[in-house]
Structure 1
Amino acid sequence: MIYILSAILFSAGQIIAGWVFFALSSVILIFNYIFIKSELLKLENMVKTAKEKDFTPKYVYPGLSEFNRLGIATSELIESLGKLREIRRLREQEFITILNAMDMPVFIVDQEGRLIVHNKASKSFMRIAQDEPSVKYYYEILRYEELIAFIKEAIVSESQREEKLEIEDSLFEAISFPFISRSEKFTLF
């Protein structure tokens, strides 16, 4: 009888100890989950702010080496992205400066017909102010039907074209050629 009673007490003690261990393990897992989730949210927020053109990393590195390495790598990536975007902006400004130095009108149109870039010399061919901010289609901006038809045919044919256009009793030589930049097709006029 003593053996049975002690075995039952010992089993009850094991069950209680098991439940205590389970409860403590669950609490530790919950705190670990909350910590990991908060660190991942910090990384996510840092990437989101970089996406919104703020390239200053704001990640506070935690004590865990895995998150520390990930945070450092993400910060370096964001800083590099910021530098690349600045280089791109400067190159675009240089390109626009070169285009504006040209005496002949230049238009760059994408495959959908959006006027991507144009220079100051092209102003006489346009219906609206050159510095209007919204992206427009060439057929909305250009004032001469002959030029609009030429551009339309050039986009469709995707080949180099040359044609003499008579616009307001003046003869213009229109030249177009397609080019690809970053997997996007453009046509230069």
Structure 2
Amino acid sequence: MSKATLPELPYAYNALEPYISEEIMTLHHKKHHQTYVNGYNTAVESLSKLGDDGSAARQHISLQSAIKFNGGGHINHSLFWKNLAPAGKTGLKPDGTLETTVLANTIDRDFDSFSKFKERFNQAALGIQGSGWAWLVLSTTNQRLDIITTANQDPVLPPFIPIFGVDMWEHAFYLQYKNVKPDYLSAIWNVINFVEAENRLNDGLSSKL
């Protein structure tokens, strides 16, 4: 199995300012995401060296937990970076509506309007106890959009396909927004990459994801 590696950002560390600071982006990517990559690779390597005898069962379980946590952190953050873009390149019009027709129409169908969707998404994100993620997902069972949350670094799993996610761990916002999560959420909508989100939606609808 090939080792996980830290992906490069598709923009500069300061490209999301003033909504997300260069300091946060640098630490979040170079330090936090790198830690998940390192932790995942270490756990996978250690697991591969264990025997199959019963005495190793507890170590297997412990390492599988580490793989889930660190591997999930790697998966989630790799998607998160793609789900962000500099303001003006996000597919969001100056009036706050979406340029992305398929995504906009699907949101209107499943949430009544973009503004109601944002309100529901913010409520879900603010309802997370401790650390976790808020997600816009596509359900493969009915081909409709939904909002879910995952705890810690748990990734989105079938029957859902992640369209975009927002990191609600404190390391994603605390240096800039302290503990005022509503301010962080208000800011991050300006840099959500709705073009990428629509691409993922189209791929999900055509079963490419």
Q: Shorter-chain TM-score category? A: under 0.3
- Highest Rg: 1 or 2? 1
Looking at secondary structure, tell me which structure has more strand per residue.
1
Q: Which has the higher helix share?
A: 1
| Bigger RCO of structures 1 and 2 (CA < 8 A, at least 6 apart) | 2
With structure 1 as the length reference, what TM-score do the two structures score? 0.27
TM-score relative to the length of structure 2 = 0.25
